Chain A
Amino acid sequence: MAFFVEVLVGGLLAGVMYSLVALGFVLIYKASGVFNFAQGAMVLAAATTYAGLADRGWNGWLAFLAALATMVLFALATERLVLRPLVNQPQISLFMATIGLTFVLEGLAQAMWGAEVRGLDLGIPDTPLEVKGVLVSKFDLVASATAGTLVVVLALFFQNTRTGRALRAVADDHQAALSVGIPLERIWALVWAAAGAVALVAGLLWGSRLGVQFALTQVALKALPVLILGGFTSVAGAIVGGLMIGASEKVAEVYLGPLIGGGIENWFPYVLALLFLLVRPDGLFGEKRIERV
């Protein structure tokens, strides 16, 4: 029993970190209606930049700021070169543009810093902590605490501030927002920069766990099932979805995996999300789409 709790807790903690990645998606989707497939690449690029600088001997905080600056620059460039020309295009076009962005970002990050696997040391010890007979990784705790805080802060921001509400409005109709005078470009740049910052934090946390390598984008892709469970527009959904995916993935891997050959964590979250979609096509917290003819 204790073992199960351990597995569950480990999964939940991983889930909080998934939520963090999913949060980046939600931020951008809520504010611009764009499904940003490049979020995963942003995680990798941010982590690579940090790791590359740290390797060169840069001080941790400086490297963090530099990486953050890079992500902000990327956000500005994306807004100017990709989002603005594609304003009011169908969602699917913007989605495909973000797939293009993924490639650009991956290529640039690897070209600048090389494609080798790097370790990332954040100075958080990975020693196990014993809580009521259950072993919990200290690192996991710190990571999820950070992630959790960020998630809560952003949730409050969207719900309660004026800017947050304006962002939600913008996501609905670009042209309407433009004609009302909402400074679309500034808002988008802001939101993408925020998503970039979230990606950086996620990249650092996951990077210290897995090392900074291409597999990070796979992790980021796992955020997709999280979004499906939680809905694309809900910050709360990202939290709940992340927890569910993290927990179920771990539990399945440990208990189900050995029965059918192992390695099922690659597809299990997706199949779970798929089955879930069959029952609730708009996710747990997502907005129900009403089609009028």
Chain B
Amino acid sequence: MRGEVPGPVLLEVRGVSLSFGGVHALREVDFLVHQGEICAIIGPNGAGKSSLLNVMNGVYAPDRGTITYAGETRKAMRPHRAAEQGIARTFQNIALFKGMSVLDNVMTGRALKMRQGLLWQALYWGPAEREEIEHRARVEKVIDFLQIEHVRRTPVGRLAYGLQKRVELARALAAEPTLLLLDEPMAGMNIEEKQDMCRFILDANDELGVTVVLIEHDMAVVMDIADRVVVLDYGRKIADGLPEEVRGNPEVIAAYLGVPTAADDRALKEAS
């Protein structure tokens, strides 16, 4: 994937602005996501990264701007429509269904694909039973892929944080998405867990052909797996390009380290 010619544009966000009361979460953000790539969104806290993801899959409606996906340009995505059209995502604070087991959680990812009506389900016979088993088989593939077979029947609330994140990823992958939006998938993980997650994301991208947009703070991860990096600061896009380019960008460095003010200069002078 790295270095290859980027595929066709899958999703385009143009001129998107979003504010909550007086807080401008996003200001005139434009960017493209190409099919098959792994695109990382980085930036200091409060830069608007989660808001951007939320706009992309319809949790928030932007005040201005358009989103183009699957050939349609619209003022706002609607979550149900986004899901129908193949966008799946994970959340910063783990949005799993705590009362259900791992298997059931991942099965909910197939909700859109299951068609049988209430009556057949009530009998659990014939078409409904066949459908259950068919989808169970597919879900098992995802469970296998993410190596969570051993906790299949455990209620999700009892799992360790890292495993919960993996189950959330499984649920998203179970929907067989075209576009996968990951909000800090590796937050709070140790090195080993992060390596595992990287492998899963890369495999999903390679083997399943899923386009990935992920928000991530760990620079090493971003440098390693991202094809392209978009940097946000105070709701504005300040850089967009290959990881190496972005890393050296002085604006990006300034955003992360902070631009020195007159007070800082004075303090330095007094200290020396």
Contacts and interface: CB of A to CB of B under 8 A. Distances in A.
Q: Do A and B bind each other?
A: yes
Interface of A: 292-293
A292 B59 CA distance: 10
A213 to B, nearest CB: 42
A293 B93 CA distance: 7
Do most interface residues of chain A lie in helix, strand or loop, or is the interface mixed? loop
B203 to A, nearest CB: 26
A292 B95 CA distance: 10
B161 to A, nearest CB: 17
Contacts, number: 6
Closest 6 CB pairs of A and B: A293-B91, A293-B95, A293-B59, A293-B93, A292-B93, A293-B54
Interface string B58-84: 010000000000000000000000000
A292 to B, nearest CB: 8
Nearest to A292: B93
6 contacts: A292-B93, A293-B54, A293-B59, A293-B91, A293-B93, A293-B95
Contacts of B54: 293
A292 B91 CA distance: 10
Contacts of B95: 293
Contacts of A292: 93
Interface in B13-65: 54, 59
A293 B51 CA distance: 11
A293 B54 CA distance: 10
A212 to B, nearest CB: 44
A293 B90 CA distance: 10
Contacts of B93: 292-293
A293 B50 CA distance: 10
Nearest to B95: A293
Nearest to B54: A293
Contacts of A293: 54, 59, 91, 93, 95
Nearest to B92: A293
A292 B54 CA distance: 11
A145 to B, nearest CB: 41
A80 B132 CA distance: 49
B52 to A, nearest CB: 14
Contacts of B59: 293
A288 to B, nearest CB: 12
B179 to A, nearest CB: 18
Nearest to B20: A290
A67 B59 CA distance: 53
B157 to A, nearest CB: 12
A89 to B, nearest CB: 14
Interface string B93-111: 1010000000000000000
Contacts of B91: 293
A293 B92 CA distance: 8
A293 B95 CA distance: 7
B90 to A, nearest CB: 11
B215 to A, nearest CB: 14
A199 B195 CA distance: 61
Nearest to A290: B20
A289 to B, nearest CB: 15
A59 to B, nearest CB: 56
A1 B93 CA distance: 60
Nearest to B93: A293
A112 B59 CA distance: 56
A287 to B, nearest CB: 15
B141 to A, nearest CB: 27
A17 to B, nearest CB: 39
